[in-house]
Structure formats: structure tokens, C-alpha cells
């Protein structure tokens, strides 16, 4: 584990949470570079040829995409494993990861982002976390531009897309509730990439405490009411339990 490891990330983002959680779960020392959605594009494109985060650098090797990052980190540090040893269970875990990454997570993100976009000052504050006052001020004033890109980049095409996102959140909560009944986990009988992925994608609807996904305070009343509504679903209790039992503190050096 001798090479330098750096995660280029957005704070509060679900796909980025997958990468952060994996690094922390495996206690891999690394650096984190926070990027702001919008201004990030040029830098990430130069690094990877595309613009999405997370991006991980291991020495000179550049890896884009949360699932590829998890696979690479399993090689860097095999234990504790996120991919189940038994082939059938491993395939099931990967299928659940794919369902969240390509369907439920992408759709539900539209609803979460659309709601955040109703309060651009709060959103700017979230995504410029850790920046100096000048950068925060500038970013706040760039928001009209940034919001257009966020809408376009995430397929927030209108009210139907947002309603579909709300449905996806309920589908995801139903799925984790039903699927965790027998063992407490989504597949097999222990924590795996399936649980990590589902919980990272559901974090914005559950607001787990004391971690990288905890929404900044003061939180507008509208978001508080929305979280209270989602909290009525039993699936949220499972997400909170997994966060409590399996989401360690940051292993980042900065």
C-alpha cells in the first residue's frame, strides 16, 4: 500500500460517498480534493476524458467511476472485503450495485437535486464546503449557471422527471426493507458492496448523522419536513443502522 492515493470528489454526492466509504471502511490513508460542481469539469476532463466524479488516483493510475474504484480498492486492500467470496453471492451483490448506480440512484438523485435547487444559497454552501469565503461568495454568484448544468447533466427535464425521482426513492426504500428482512443485509449474511451502495444512494433521503453525508445546518424547514416524511418508511431505519454499524470515520489525511 505504498503509493499515494488521492480522491477527487464532490462533497455530499452519493457516488462520491461510495468511494469515500470504501476508503474509510478499508482504513486506507489517502488525500481528498474537494471540487465544486461546474468548475470541476475542465480539471476532471483533462484527467479522465469525461467529467464525472469520483476519480481516484493510485500512484500514476487514474480510475473513474465508483464501481471501478471499489474494484481497484479491493486489490489495494483485500480486507475487510466488500465483494463476497462466494461467486453467486458476489454476482448478486454486483447486480444490486448496478441496479442502484444505473437506475434507482440516478433517478432518485433528480428528486433530491431538484429540491436542493429550490434553495440555491443552501446548495452553493453545501458544494463549496471547505472553501475560503471568496470562493464561496463567487460560487454563490455562479449558481444560475451551475444550476443549468446540474439540470442538464442529471436529466432534470421537468416535473415528470422529479416525480419519477420521488417514485425511485420509494422503490429503493421498499427494496432495502424487503431484501434485508432475512439476514439484515441485502445479500448473503454480511455487509457488502450491495449494502454500501444502496445506503450511499439513500443517504440524502435519510440524512445519517455525524458523517460526510450529514446535511449542513441550519437546514431550511422544507428539507426538514421532507426528511420527516421519508423517515416514516421502515427502509430508512435499515439505512441508519447500516451507517451506524458499518460506516467508520474518515481515513483521509486531510
- Residue 108 interacts with ligand GSH (CB under 6 A): yes or no: no
Nearer to ligand GSH, 52 or 96 (CB): 52
CA-based nearest residue to 212, from 132, 104, 126, 97: 126
Nearer to ligand GSH, 103 or 189 (CB): 103
Nearer to ligand GSH, 43 or 182 (CB): 43
- Residue 115 interacts with ligand GSH (CB under 6 A): yes or no: no
Question: Which of 48, 51, 170, 251 is the binder for ligand GSH (CB under 6 A)?
Answer: 51
Q: DSSP alpha helices (H): ranges in the chain?
A: 14-25, 40-48, 66-76, 87-99, 105-117, 120-127, 133-153, 159-179, 193-206, 221-230, 234-246
SS3 state of residue 64: strand
Say which residue the cell 446548495 belongs to.
Answer: 123
- Residue 15 interacts with ligand GSH (CB under 6 A): yes or no: yes
DSSP class per residue in 184-210: SSSSTTS--HHHHHHHHHHHHHH--SS
Nearer to ligand GSH, 81 or 106 (CB): 106
- Residue 101 interacts with ligand GSH (CB under 6 A): yes or no: yes
Give the other-Cβ count within 10 Å of 135's Cβ: 13
Which one of 13-21, 25-33, 195-203, 207-215 is the stretch in contact with ligand GSH (CB under 6 A)?
Answer: 13-21
- Residue 14 interacts with ligand GSH (CB under 6 A): yes or no: yes
Binding to ligand GSH (CB under 6 A) within 133-192 occurs at 153
- Residue 53 interacts with ligand GSH (CB under 6 A): yes or no: yes
CB-based contact 33:6 (threshold 8 Å): yes
- Residue 97 interacts with ligand GSH (CB under 6 A): yes or no: no
Distance CA 232, CA 248 (A): 26
Total residue length of the chain: 254
Question: Which of 22, 34, 66, 128 is the binder for ligand GSH (CB under 6 A)?
Answer: 66
Q: Minimum distance between the CB of residue 37 and ligand GSH, rounded to whole angstroms?
A: 6
SS3 state of residue 83: coil
Which one of 50-58, 70-78, 80-88, 118-126 is the stretch in contact with ligand GSH (CB under 6 A)?
Answer: 50-58
What residues have CB less than 8 Å from 160, skipping those under 6 apart? none
- Residue 33 interacts with ligand GSH (CB under 6 A): yes or no: no
Provide the binding-site residues for ligand GSH, judged by CB under 6 A: 10, 13-15, 37, 41, 51-54, 65-67, 101, 153
Amino acid at each position: 500500500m505504498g503509493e499515494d492515493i488521492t480522491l477527487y470528489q464532490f462533497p455530499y454526492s452519493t457516488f462520491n460517498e461510495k468511494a469515500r466509504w470504501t476508503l474509510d471502511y478499508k482504513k486506507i490513508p489517502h488525500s481528498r480534493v474537494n471540487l465544486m460542481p461546474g468548475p470541476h469539469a475542465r480539471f476532471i476532463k483533462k484527467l479522465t476524458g469525461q467529467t464525472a466524479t469520483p476519480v481516484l488516483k493510485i500512484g500514476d493510475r487514474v480510475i473513474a467511476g465508483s464501481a471501478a474504484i471499489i474494484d481497484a480498492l479491493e486489490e489495494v486492500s483485500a480486507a475487510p472485503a466488500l465483494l463476497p467470496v462466494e461467486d453467486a453471492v458476489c454476482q448478486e451483490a454486483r447486480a444490486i450495485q448496478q441496479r442502484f448506480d444505473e437506475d434507482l440512484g440516478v433517478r432518485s438523485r433528480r428528486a433530491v437535486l431538484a429540491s436542493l435547487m429550490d434553495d440555491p444559497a443552501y446548495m452553493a454552501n453545501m458544494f463549496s464546503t471547505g472553501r475560503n469565503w471568496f470562493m464561496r461568495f463567487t460560487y454563490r454568484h455562479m449558481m444560475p449557471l451551475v444550476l443549468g448544468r446540474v439540470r442538464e447533466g442529471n436529466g432534470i427535464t421537468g416535473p415528470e422527471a422529479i416525480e419519477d425521482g420521488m417514485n425511485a426513492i420509494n422503490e429503493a426504500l421498499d427494496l432495502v426493507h424487503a431484501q434485508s428482512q432475512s439476514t439484515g443485509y441485502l445479500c448473503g449474511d454480511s455487509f457488502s458492496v450491495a449494502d454500501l451502495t444502496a445506503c450511499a444512494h439513500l443517504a440524502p433521503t435519510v440524512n445519517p448523522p455525524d458523517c460526510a453525508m450529514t446535511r449542513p445546518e441550519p437546514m431550511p424547514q422544507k428539507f426538514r419536513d421532507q426528511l420527516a416524511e421519508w423517515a416514516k418508511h421502515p427502509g430508512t431505519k435499515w439505512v441508519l443502522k447500516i451507517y451506524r454499524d458499518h460506516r467508520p470515520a474518515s481515513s483521509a489525511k486531510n
